[in-house]
């Protein structure tokens, strides 16, 4: 099945010691990124063991706060059998030898779990072989621990450092013959492991993209058209050049691809403050293009109109929903809506570029450097071989930094001024020039029988198109839950043309669909007089694996037993249904499968007479397989994801008017704050399945768990977000 040959190379490291270079076929595929097959992605690792025993492992993936910089080296170090304290981690640059340098889709764990451990095991075997040769004993009589090879019978031991140079000349083992550790003997994997960067973070060391400093660097701002894709007609740029500190100001003619260089005016100055201040004097005439109907209010009206007709596309049709509605004991119709969202990375988009003599050096806080390098090459007409991209730590990603628009801006501006330039966006730039989580409206109809069991469900999903095709991350698959759980189900979709660019945001699609479907299912449970946990377990039925339909996004399928498992666990941990809650307080359930992870969450919330919401507590139960690689980070990620969902539900939503985003800062789009943040209790259900990632799947259940809790507390059904737009008071 694996066409490509395993490739593991050992050589002498500069300065002595062993250097291991690995190119391995991946054995797990990243279903959510849609890779074509199991050996379509290769990945590499570099491991160096120095004569003094220090082990250096390169971290090849971008770090955006997901903890990958230590997680991947943990896998290698475990099987190499070294002490974690002896491991140093170096961040790699963008390097064509590393073909999958991307942070997205919660893919790093499934993709790297086996191959990186094999790299470590191969290194260990070569060190043992070197020791066995030295002592003239069979390799099978040697053992290892914490960077030492031991021979128990003779009581001898040698450190990896002492063996490293000799190990480099040993034959490279065949990966098939390697034995991996029994998980029971893990000393690194599964142990709470601290992020090695924290000492630098808490002392304010420069480490983020915005902190990059290059000799002779100038600072730039770039004003684009807030009506996405608008073209520059004219500007008063000549006046801007006379302002204090300004070194250059010029118009840029960009293209039509919203992910590339766009029309705008660049202002370059000695300091960023001067550049941004000068920009406030800019007067630009834009050709905004056709903005008709590009308003949130128009979208809402269009959605209602579309819902009255047949869907443009049928996504799935099982049984006969109308016949089933006809014999249902209760039929519920409801419309659910979620808004556009900005990623709101706390570090605004930025990039530093230095162009000189036909060569370009770039420092980019990006989640996805390879396409950025290609974009810069194509836009500036510079071969990729003349471009060097350094990956810099990013102050949050959440999917925003999968696009590289800031990279091409910095490169272009640096080339025009002939000096190193740091481009830094304001918060308003960041919020008005994002690749938005698309809004969506679901026109649902559902029917339950006399026992309160779900009989049929129909959804007309009104979503968005861009340039005639479904907008990025605005689609819905045919297996969206509860598809396959019931006999009669119909999903259809219609699309409204959209100008604003959309893109993936943490748990793409699922972050909106989870709210809509899980809220409506809760509504149906109550309509039939069923307890929501009961209703969910009944709907899931007996444990079984439902394979995905074939296609580029096909993964390992949906396991109803694993979903039920986390629902039971979260119900038990939260005390669901066991205590009588005071008036105004309620508990709500949300459960969702995404990015290979099964998560169920319960929120307890209180609404007082004035309508103020207190989120009292969140319980999270997740099943991400048989091994939590770093429990310390796993808990942090799960808590952060759940709270991210709570924050979105409470206070976040963007409006479009005339093709422009109205909101610009945190006064109108409200990030979650300390006083709103409830305790989050996280439990993992360990099941015998391959380990998977968790930067995303803990988010989707949090939103419906909260809105369902509000229903339980107040009897008011929340069918649109954010909650700040709802009046929940009972005093008026």
Partner 1 sequence: MQYTIQVNGAPRPVDVDGETPLLWVLRDTLDLKGTKFGCGAAQCGACTVHMNGVPIRACQTPIASVGTAAITTIEAIGETKVGQNIQAAWIALDVPQCGYCQAGQIMSATALITRVPAPTDHDINEAMSGNVCRCATYTRIRAAIKQAADAGRA
Is 680 a binder of partner 1 (CB under 8 A)? yes
Choices 116-124, 181-189, 191-199, 523-531; region in contact with partner 1 by CB under 8 A: 191-199
Contacts with partner 1, 321-360, as mask; x by CB under 8 A: -----------------------xxxxx------------
Decide whether 477 or 671 has the Cβ nearer to ligand FES.
671
Is 396 a binder of ligand FES (CB under 6 A)? yes
Helix (H) or strand (E) holding 514: helix 510-527
- Among 570, 573, 567, 685, smallest CA distance to 626 is for 685
Is 65 a binder of ligand FES (CB under 6 A)? yes
CA separation for the pair 78, 403 (Å, rounded)? 34
Is 701 a binder of partner 1 (CB under 8 A)? no
Choices 26-34, 99-107, 597-605, 643-651; region in contact with partner 1 by CB under 8 A: 643-651
Q: Could you tell which of partner 1, ligand FES, none binds residue 366, using a CB distance below 5 to 8 A set by kind? A: none
**Closest separation between CB of residue 388 and ligand FES, Å?**
27
**Both tokens assigned to 168:** 């480099």
- Among 473, 503, 498, smallest CA distance to 405 is for 503
208: DSSP letter: B
724: DSSP letter: G
Q: 482 preceded by cis ω (within 30°)?
A: yes
**Closest separation between CB of residue 274 and partner 1, Å?**
8
- Among 536, 507, 559, smallest CA distance to 685 is for 559
**Both tokens assigned to 541:** 């039925």
CA separation for the pair 513, 519 (Å, rounded)? 10
Residue of the chain from 152, 301, 304, 346 that contacts ligand FES (CB under 6 A) = 346
Of 273-292, binders to partner 1 (CB under 8 A) are: 273-274
Is 732 a binder of partner 1 (CB under 8 A)? no
**Both tokens assigned to 195:** 């992020």
CB 558 within 8 Å of CB 484: yes
Is 67 a binder of partner 1 (CB under 8 A)? yes
CA separation for the pair 55, 77 (Å, rounded)? 9
Backbone Cα Rg of the chain? 28
**Closest separation between CB of residue 89 and ligand FES, Å?**
19
Give the CB-nearest residue to ligand FES. Answer: 346
Is 396 a binder of partner 1 (CB under 8 A)? yes
Q: Tokens 């209010």 identify what position?
A: 297
CB 146 within 8 Å of CB 81: yes
Of 230-259, binders to ligand FES (CB under 6 A) are: none
**Closest separation between CB of residue 280 and partner 1, Å?**
12
CB 643 within 8 Å of CB 603: no
Residue 4's CB is within 10 A of a number of other CB atoms, namely: 12
Cα-flanking dihedrals φ and ψ of residue 727, to 5°? -95, 110
Decide whether 274 or 519 has the Cβ nearer to ligand FES.
274
Of 192-231, binders to partner 1 (CB under 8 A) are: 192, 194-195, 197-199, 201-208, 210-211, 213, 219
Q: Which residues pair with 491 in a beta bridge?
A: 316, 459
CA separation for the pair 553, 454 (Å, rounded)? 28
Is 657 a binder of partner 1 (CB under 8 A)? no
Q: Could you tell which of ligand FES, partner 1, none binds residue 211, using a CB distance below 5 to 8 A set by kind? A: partner 1
Angle, helices 68-80 vs 108-135, to 10°: value is 30
Is 420 a binder of partner 1 (CB under 8 A)? no
Is 625 a binder of ligand FES (CB under 6 A)? no
**Closest separation between CB of residue 221 and partner 1, Å?**
12
Q: Could you tell which of partner 1, ligand FES, none binds residue 674, using a CB distance below 5 to 8 A set by kind? A: partner 1
3-state helix, strand, coil in the chain (%, to 5): 30, 25, 45
Decide whether 393 or 415 has the Cβ nearer to partner 1.
393
Decide whether 336 or 398 has the Cβ nearer to partner 1.
398
State how far the alpha carbon of 115 is from the alpha carbons of 69, 111, 255, 387, 537, in Å.
17, 8, 41, 30, 37
CA separation for the pair 374, 489 (Å, rounded)? 44
Q: Could you tell which of ligand FES, partner 1, none binds residue 491, using a CB distance below 5 to 8 A set by kind? A: none
Decide whether 173 or 647 has the Cβ nearer to partner 1.
647
Cα-flanking dihedrals φ and ψ of residue 512, to 5°? -100, -45
**Both tokens assigned to 702:** 């949090």
Q: Could you tell which of ligand FES, partner 1, none binds residue 204, using a CB distance below 5 to 8 A set by kind? A: partner 1
**Closest separation between CB of residue 330 and ligand FES, Å?**
45
**Closest separation between CB of residue 396 and ligand FES, Å?**
5
Q: Summarize as ranges the residues that interact with ligand FES (CB under 6 A).
A: 65, 346, 396
Q: Summarize as ranges the residues that interact with partner 1 (CB under 8 A).
A: 64-67, 192, 194-195, 197-199, 201-208, 210-211, 213, 219, 244, 271-274, 344-348, 393-398, 424, 426-427, 632-633, 636-637, 639-640, 643-644, 647, 665-667, 671-675, 677, 679-680
């Amino acid at each position: 099945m694996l066409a490509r040959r395993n490739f593991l190379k050992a050589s002498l490291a500069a300065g002595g010691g062993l250097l291991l270079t690995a190119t391995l076929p991946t054995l797990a595929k990243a279903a959510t990124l849609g890779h074509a097959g199991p050996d379509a992605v290769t990945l590499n690792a570099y491991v160096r063991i120095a004569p003094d025993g220090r082990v250096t492992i390169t971290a090849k993936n971008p770090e955006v706060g997901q903890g990958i910089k230590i997680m991947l080296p943990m896998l290698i170090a475990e099987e190499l059998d070294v002490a974690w304290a002896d491991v140093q981690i170096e961040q790699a640059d963008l390097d064509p030898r590393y073909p999958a340098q991307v942070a997205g889709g919660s893919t790093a764990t499934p993709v790297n779990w086996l191959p990186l451990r094999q790299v470590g095991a191969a290194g260990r075997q070569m060190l043992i072989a070197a020791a066995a040769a030295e002592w003239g004993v069979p390799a099978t009589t040697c053992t290892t621990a914490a960077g030492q090879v031991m021979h128990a019978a003779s009581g001898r031991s040698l450190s990896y450092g002492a063996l490293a140079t000799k190990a480099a000349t040993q034959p490279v083992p065949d990966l098939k013959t390697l034995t991996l550790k029994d998980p029971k003997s893990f000393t690194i994997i599964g142990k709470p492991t601290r992020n090695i960067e924290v000492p630098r973070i808490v002392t304010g060391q420069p480490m983020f993209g915005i902190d990059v400093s290059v000799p002779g660097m100038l600072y730039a701002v770039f004003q684009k058209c807030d009506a996405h894709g608008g073209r520059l007609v004219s500007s008063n740029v000549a006046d801007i050049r006379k302002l204090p500190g300004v070194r250059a100001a010029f118009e840029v003619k960009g293209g039509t691809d919203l992910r590339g260089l766009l029309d705008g005016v660049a202002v370059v100055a000695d300091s960023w403050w001067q550049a941004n201040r000068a920009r406030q004097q800019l007067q630009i005439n834009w050709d905004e293009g056709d903005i008709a109907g590009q308003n949130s209010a128009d979208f809402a009206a269009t959605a209602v109109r579309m819902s009255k007709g047949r869907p443009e596309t049928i996504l799935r049709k099982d049984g006969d929903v109308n016949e089933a509605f006809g014999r249902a004991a209760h039929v519920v119709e409801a419309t659910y809506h979620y808004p556009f969202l900005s990623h709101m990375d706390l570090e605004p988009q930025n990039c530093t570029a230095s162009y000189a003599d036909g060569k370009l050096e770039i420092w980019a806080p990006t989640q996805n450097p390879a396409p950025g390098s290609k974009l810069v090459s194509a836009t500036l007409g510079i071969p990729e071989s003349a471009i060097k991209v350094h990956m810099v730590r990013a102050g949050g990603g959440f999917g925003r930094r999968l696009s590289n628009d800031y990279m091409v801006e910095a490169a272009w501006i640096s080339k025009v001024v002939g000096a190193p330039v740091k481009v830094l966006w304001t918060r308003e730039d960041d919020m008005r020039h994002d690749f938005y989580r698309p809004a969506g409206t679901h026109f649902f109809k559902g029917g339950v029988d006399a026992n309160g069991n779900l009989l049929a469900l129909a959804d007309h999903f009104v979503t968005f198109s861009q340039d005639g095709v479904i907008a990025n991350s605005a689609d819905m698959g045919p297996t969206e839950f509860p598809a396959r759980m019931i006999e009669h189900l119909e999903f259809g979709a219609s699309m409204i043309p959209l100008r604003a660019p959309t893109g993936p945001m943490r748990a793409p699609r699922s972050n909106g669909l989870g709210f809509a479907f899980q809220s409506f299912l809760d509504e149906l449970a109550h309509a039939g007089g069923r307890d929501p946990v009961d209703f969910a377990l009944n709907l899931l039925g007996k444990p079984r694996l439902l394979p995905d339909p074939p296609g580029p996004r096909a993964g390992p399928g949906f396991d109803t037993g694993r979903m039920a498992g986390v629902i039971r666990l979260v119900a038990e941990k939260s005390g669901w249904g066991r205590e009588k809650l005071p008036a105004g307080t309620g508990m709500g359930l949300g459960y969702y499968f995404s990015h290979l992870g099964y998560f169920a969450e319960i929120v307890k919330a209180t609404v007082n007479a004035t309508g103020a919401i207190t989120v009292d507590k969140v319980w999270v139960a997740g099943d991400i397989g048989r091994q939590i690689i770093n429990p310390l980070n796993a808990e942090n990620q799960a808590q952060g994801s759940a709270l991210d969902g709570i924050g979105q539900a409470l206070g976040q939503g963007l409006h479009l008017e005339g093709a422009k985003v109205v909101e610009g800062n945190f006064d109108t789009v409200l990030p979650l704050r300390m006083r709103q943040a409830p305790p989050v209790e996280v439990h993992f259900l360990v099941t015998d399945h391959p380990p998977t990632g968790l930067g995303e799947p803990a988010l989707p259940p949090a939103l419906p768990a909260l809105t369902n809790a509000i229903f339980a507390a107040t009897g008011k059904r929340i069918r649109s977000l954010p909650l700040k737009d709802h009046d929940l008071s009972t005093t008026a």
